[in-house]
Amino acid sequence: MGNPHSRRSVLAGAGALALAAFVPGCTGGGDPTPTPSATPAPPPDPLLALLEVRIALAMAYDAVATRHPNLSGRLLPVRDQTQEQVTVLRRALALPAPAPTTTAAST
């Protein structure tokens, strides 16, 4: 009384069953055509990130000049250049200029 099924045929059959059970999960099911949603927003302008960095840098120059007045003669010209860059970036991005504020370093 021999076994009519070889080990290979049993393993191949088990593999085919496992694959058959797995494949339907890959089809996604449900509606085969996704409904188009609203047009995705365009990616943010990379200049916005640069603008944020320049604003933070200008604020850092102001903070250091306030904390160390002896360095303000060297820092304020660099801060002014950074502020000019902020102005140019705002213009390039068509952003309004911020409301004028006074800082301790500029008084």
User: pLDDT tens-digit profile of 65-76?
Assistant: 999 999 999 999
Q: 38: pLDDT confidence band, cut at 50, 70 and 90? A: confident
Distance (Å, whole) CA 58 – CA 76: 9
Residue whose pair of structure tokens reads 């021999």 in the numeric block = 2
CB 97 within 8 A of CB 55: no
Residue 54's pLDDT is what?
97
User: Is residue 1 pLDDT above 70, yes or no?
Assistant: no
Q: What tens digit of pLDDT does each residue of 41-64 get? A: 888 889 999 999 999 999 999 999
Distances 66 to 54, 55, 56, 60, 105 between C-alpha atoms, Å: 18, 17, 15, 10, 5
Q: What burial class does residue 107 get, using C-beta atoms within 10 Å of its C-beta: 0-12 exposed, 13-18 middle, 19+ buried?
A: exposed
Contact 75, 65 (CB under 8 A): yes
Backbone angles phi, psi at 21, to 5 degrees: -75, -30
